């Protein structure tokens, strides 16, 4: 211990580490009843340089923490002598080089946290001896081999985090052997191939993150067997395609369903309306078609619905306006059409949330509540009106009144040219001689055509006969 004290003294005041003090009095140390060191925590002490190899002499060590320091260089082979250790955490340092094969000797390890470093290479085959491992974190490194199938031998794994590396190859079918696994994070790698059907053989799985890879093909139908799955992230796999499974509704525990930026197509299965725990649905920037299932209005836990950048059609789903927790709704860049529904103006999503429905084919009058200028609620305060809403590039008719000048949070862009190009509607904002902007964070104003100037209230355009604003 005195040798270790000498290595750490430049960074930590270890005056309590003396031969005359009992082990229980030493700072950062916990001891067994026989006086041997059981636990050491030197995290967040700004320690630099290599990890002292003499730590490997503490063969009674059960837990060791050296996280969030400036430690660097390779990992010491001497740690392989810590055959009793169960919890080893070295995350958020500057370690580099390969993970030592000798570390497979630490057969009692239950937790190993090596994330947020600069390790390269792969996982040693000797890690097949770590059969007691329950939490294995190596995310945010520079590991660059094919998918490390050695993890399939860790039969007691509960959490596996391999994210933010450079692993290649396909997702192995042997993962199905990890029957206790409840967190699987393999996102942000360079994985290819299709998702194996055996993914549905993980009965305990709760979180599945496979986003930001290059997987391809359709989802295996077996994925709907993951009835305990809460969070599913498969976004940013541009080659994943095919329809969503028709029995999606079997995944009754889902709260987050994030499949955006892929090539999924077909319609949203009606069975999605059975997923009453859903809080977030992100299906944007795919190739979905058809209409939104009517029963989606029964998803009372829903807070976020992103369907932008698809080919959905039909009328505005009026049921969305009744969802009590919905505060982010994005339907832009689809093929929705028809008038906005009655009650649109006073709905919670409009008055207190964020809504974006631009680049569709909505038309008809926007007046929803008698006596109120369309899109200008009675409450004009920052906390009571549109937070960030866009209805640009549609053909909704509205009345420009001075009351709107105090509503800075809804963004629309309407011009005769735009609307005629979209649906041939006879819409004439700004007196038919300009583009009316309800800019987020600024007052309503008209961008008048050449030869026209805005009126004093900025809400209409008139011929410029005098060269001054009228």
Strand order, beta sheet including 444-448: 413-414, 434-438, 444-448
Q: Are strands 231-233 and 207-209 parallel, antiparallel or unpaired?
A: parallel
pLDDT, tens digit (0-9, with 9 covering 90-100), for 397-442: 443 333 233 233 334 443 333 333 333 333 345 667 776 554 333 3
Long-range contacts of 373-378 (CB under 8 A, 24+ apart): 373/398, 373/399, 373/401, 373/403, 373/404, 374/345, 374/398, 374/399, 375/345, 375/404, 375/407, 375/410, 375/412, 375/438, 376/401, 376/403, 376/404, 376/406, 376/407, 377/345, 377/346, 377/351, 377/407
Query: What are the tokens at 191?
Result: 């994985």
Long-range contacts of 417-422 (CB under 8 A, 24+ apart): 418/393, 419/394, 419/395, 422/361, 422/393, 422/394, 422/395
The confidence score (pLDDT) of residue 376 equals: 34
Greatest C-alpha distance within the chain? 99
The confidence score (pLDDT) of residue 359 equals: 84
* pLDDT less than 70: residues of the chain: 364-431, 435-446, 456-459, 466-470
SS3 305: strand
pLDDT, tens digit (0-9, with 9 covering 90-100), for 342-393: 878 778 887 778 888 888 887 755 433 222 233 333 332 222 233 345 555 5
pLDDT, tens digit (0-9, with 9 covering 90-100), for 186-206: 999 999 999 999 999 999 999
DSSP state string for 401-431: -GGGGG-TTEE-EE-HHHHHHHH-----GGG
The confidence score (pLDDT) of residue 10 equals: 74
Question: How far does CA 298 lie from the centroid of its chain?
Answer: 24
The confidence score (pLDDT) of residue 457 equals: 58
The confidence score (pLDDT) of residue 458 equals: 62
Report the distance separating Cα 84 and Cα 313, nearest Å: 62
Report the distance separating Cα 410 and Cα 305, nearest Å: 19
The confidence score (pLDDT) of residue 13 equals: 82
Q: Is 38 left (phi over 0), alpha (psi -120 to 50) or beta?
A: alpha
What domains are there in the chain, each with its CATH number? 2-400 (3.80.10.10)
The confidence score (pLDDT) of residue 391 equals: 57
Contact 364, 338 (CB under 8 A): yes
């Amino acid at each position: 211990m005195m040798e270790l004290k000498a290595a750490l003294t430049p960074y930590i005041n270890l005056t309590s580490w003396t031969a005359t003090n009992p082990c229980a009095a030493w700072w950062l140390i916990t001891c067994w009843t026989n006086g041997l060191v059981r636990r050491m925590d030197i995290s967040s002490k700004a320690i630099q340089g290599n990890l002292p190899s003499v730590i490997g002499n503490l063969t009674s060590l059960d837990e060791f923490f050296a996280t969030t320091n400036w430690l660097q260089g390779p990992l010491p082979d001497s740690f392989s002598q810590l055959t009793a250790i169960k919890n080893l955490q070295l995350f958020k340092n500057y370690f580099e080089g390969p993970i030592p094969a000798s570390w497979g000797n630490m057969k009692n390890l239950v937790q190993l946290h090596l994330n947020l470093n600069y390790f390269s290479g792969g996982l040693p085959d000797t890690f097949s001896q770590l059969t007691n491992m329950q939490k294995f974190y190596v995310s945010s490194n520079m590991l660059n081999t094919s998918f490390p199938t050695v993890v399939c031998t860790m039969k007691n794994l509960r959490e596996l985090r391999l994210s933010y590396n450079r692993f290649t190859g396909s997702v192995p079918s042997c993962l199905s052997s990890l029957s206790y696994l409840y967190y699987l994070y393999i996102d942000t790698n360079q994985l290819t191939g299709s998702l194996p059907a055996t993914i549905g053989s993980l009965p305990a799985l709760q979180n599945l993150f496979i986003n930001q890879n290059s997987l391809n093909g359709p989802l295996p139908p077996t994925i709907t067997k993951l009835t305990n799955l809460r969070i599913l992230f498969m976004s940013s796999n541009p080659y994943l395609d095919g329809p969503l499974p028709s029995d999606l509704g079997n995944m009754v525990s889902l709260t987050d369903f994030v499949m955006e930026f892929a090539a999924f197509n077909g319609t949203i299965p009606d069975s999605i309306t059975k997923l009453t725990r859903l809080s977030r649905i992100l299906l944007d920037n795919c190739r979905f078609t058809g209409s939104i299932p009517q029963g989606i209005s029964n998803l009372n836990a829903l807070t976020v619905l992103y369907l932008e950048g698809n080919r959905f059609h039909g009328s505005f789903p009026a049921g969305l306006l009744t969802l009590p927790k919905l505060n982010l709704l994005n339907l832009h860049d689809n093929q929705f059409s028809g008038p906005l529904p009655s009650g649109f103006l006073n709905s919670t999503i409009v008055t207190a949330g964020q809504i974006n429905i631009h680049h569709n084919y909505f038309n008809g009058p926007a007046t929803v509540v008698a006596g109120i200028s369309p899109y200008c609620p009675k409450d004009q305060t920052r906390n009571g009106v549109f937070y960030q809403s866009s209805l640009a590039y549609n053909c909704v008719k509205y009345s420009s009144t001075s009351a709107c000048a105090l509503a800075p949070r809804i963004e629309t862009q309407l011009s005769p040219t735009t609307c005629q190009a979209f649906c041939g509607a006879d819409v004439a904002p700004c007196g038919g001689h300009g583009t009316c902007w309800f800019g987020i964070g600024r007052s309503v104003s008209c961008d008048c055509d050449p030869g026209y100037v805005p009126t004093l209230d900025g809400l209409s355009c008139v011929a410029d006969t005098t060269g001054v604003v009228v």
